[in-house]
Amino acid sequence: MRRIVVVGASAAGLAAAETLRREGYDGTLTLVGDEPLAPYDRPPLSKQLLAAEWEPGRLALRTPGDLAGLDLDLRLGAAATSLELAERTVELADGTTVPYDALIVATGVRPRRLPGEGAHVLRTLDDALALRDRLAPGRRLVVVGAGFLGAEAAAVAWRLGCEVTLLEPAPVPLAHAVGTEVGQVLTAAHLERGVNLRCGVSVAEVTGDGVRLAGGELVEADEVLVAIGSLPNTEWLAGSGLAVGDGVVCDEYCQAARDVYAAGDVARWYNPLFGQSMRIEHRTNAAEQGMAAARNLLNPQARKPFAPVPYFWSDQYDMKIQAYGYLRGHDEVAVVEGDPAERKFVAAYRTGDRISGALAVGMPPKAIRQWRQAIATGASWAEAVRPTVPAADS
């Protein structure tokens, strides 16, 4: 194996490339990225970068010297456009063809959009800088989508003095993921600060004056941010023979086909710890999965299942939110420590008869770490959650 290609130059792709070198691979290593920039960190885009607390240079994941030390065939600003499994080649947008002996797909996701033009999205450094330039005291910002990304951006805009309207189709933001009670806590944080949060509304299109709701109402704005989720970047794989279904479909080893692995936001793999396939769009998972895919690719006789306890965090106003596990599809939520009314608590999540997740708001990291261990060991709900703790249906 003398030619390995990694398509995707963000957290997962970079982690894969570094792991390949660290594990002793000394052949040609091509790293392909659709953006012209060297790998950079994305979570700060909706936080420190958008708030102008950080400048772009601080987002770099590695120094130029670090990248040079990897001895990469670096192809930036040239997106992959097609894959030929039989010929083992990747076609790039600049017209070049890159051959490989093994391939890691780490092409990430892109934002969903709404009909109409002029709206901002928040995925790349250019996206964040364009929106940052438009945020100022008194400016009217409409954020479509009150998920974690939309809520973070709304919180930053509020701090910058903008008049913020947050539109969400669900009755309670994030209830499908974190439960109604936790969703209500996050909702209260917006309302107390004067953010105009409107739930149960659908946006039909972006207009030159704001957004138009499905019922015809115009919500006026100077700027619009659309934060309604993302789509995995798999179009370039059409006709390749790889299985694609809300991401690149992989087994528990992150393998998608012979000598082809996937990692990061684009990978849908079977996580044996939870007994189901999942696709995780979190920074920590991207790096961990990039490393796992690289190790399994290089050492097929000693492959290990990728069975992590997913972790994510979010900063909104003065709240630090941390979560471990797989919260979606849970059957029950119980507050196991603290008080939601004070926005300082830990909630545990049950799926079937086991603990599947834990989320903390306003608590020190150690308050939730014990729950990570319970999730990792597959502890039953009865073992992990004391019977004296009142349960709250989600």
Reported as a single tens digit per residue, the pLDDT across 120-151 is 999 999 999 999 999 999 999 999 999 999 99
Instruction: DSSP letter for 184, please.
Output: H
Domain that holds residue 90: 3-110+230-302
Whole-number pLDDT of residue 218: 98
Shared-domain flag, residues 9 and 86? yes
Shared-domain flag, residues 219 and 139? yes
Whole-number pLDDT of residue 394: 46
Shared-domain flag, residues 162 and 100? no
* Higher pLDDT pick, 108 / 366: 108
Q: Classify residue 39: in a domain, yes or no.
A: yes
CB contact set of 53 (below 8 Å; sequence gap of 6+): none
The stretches of 193-327 forming alpha helices (DSSP H) are: 283-298
How many domains does the chain contain in total? Answer: 3
Q: Residue 386: which pLDDT band, with cuts at 50, 70 and 90?
A: low
User: Cα separations (Å) of 265 from 121, 130, 187, 283?
Assistant: 17, 24, 27, 9
Reported as a single tens digit per residue, the pLDDT across 211-268 is 999 999 999 999 999 999 999 999 999 999 999 999 999 999 999 999 999 999 999 9
Q: Classify residue 310: in a domain, yes or no.
A: no
Shared-domain flag, residues 105 and 244? yes
Shared-domain flag, residues 11 and 105? yes
What are the DSSP calls for 267-285, one per residue?
EEEEETTTTEEE----HHH
Q: What is the mean pLDDT of the chain?
A: 95
Q: Classify residue 367: in a domain, yes or no.
A: yes
Shared-domain flag, residues 118 and 98? no
Q: Which residues of 106-139 are buried (b: 16+ CB within 10 A; e: fewer)?
A: bbbbbbeebebeebbbbbbbebbeebbeebeeeb
Last residue of a domain, one of 178, 200, 226: 226
CATH code for position 208: 3.50.50.60
Shared-domain flag, residues 142 and 11? no
Last residue of a domain, one of 200, 226, 252: 226
Q: Residue 104: which pLDDT band, with cuts at 50, 70 and 90?
A: very high
Reported as a single tens digit per residue, the pLDDT across 336-385 is 999 999 999 999 999 999 999 999 999 998 899 889 999 999 999 998 88
Shared-domain flag, residues 137 and 105? no
Whole-number pLDDT of residue 28: 98
Shared-domain flag, residues 178 and 130? yes
**Burial class of residue 316 (count of CB atoms within 10 Å of its CB; 0-12, 13-18, 19+):** buried
